[in-house]
Amino acid sequence: MKKVKTLFLLVLLSWLALPAICQKSGPDSKIKSLIVSEEKYDMMVKKQYKESETYYDARGNIIESITYKQGKTDKHFKFQYDTDNNKIKEEEFDTSGRLKEFSEYKYSDGLRTEKTVYDQNKKIKSKKTYVYTKF
């Protein structure tokens, strides 16, 4: 019986995640947001928690992602994109909604060339450069 419950839960979670997996980019994209909730049963008591929230722009890019642990904010990110759908900025917020750190990205010929991470006071924490070898 436990295997059946586990299988049912996996099928249910797969079905709930399907809109995010099938998210299309482009002008015909219809999904604006996705909220996933989970129900847990403990000793015949049902508890329902919000598991995540994901918001998309009209081009299908994720612009905000919030994950929860037992109904409380765990991770919270916001994203910005350029006209080529390249992620150019990523902001991470703490559990109270204050900016924790942010990253900025640079691209050349459609390839990421740099990622710079800043703290909430705009001081550089780290910097990565990407060098590609082409045929």
Mean of the per-residue pLDDT values for the chain?
A: 82
Sign of torsion over alpha carbons 49, 96, 90, 58: positive
The amino acid that residue 84 corresponds to is D
Torsion (CA) 111, 59, 99, 129 in degrees, nearest 10: 0
CA 93 – CA 75 distance, rounded (Å): 7
**Is the pLDDT higher at 27 or at 106?**
106
pLDDT-derived band at 29, boundaries 50, 70, 90:
low
Q: What is the mean pLDDT of residues 88-99?
A: 95
Domain map of the chain by residue range?
A: 2-129
Residue 48 pLDDT exceeds 60: yes
- Residue length, the chain? 135
pLDDT, tens digit, 9 for 90 and up, residues 54-92 = 999 999 999 999 999 988 999 999 999 999 999 999 999
Whether this prediction's pTM lies above 0.75 is answered by no
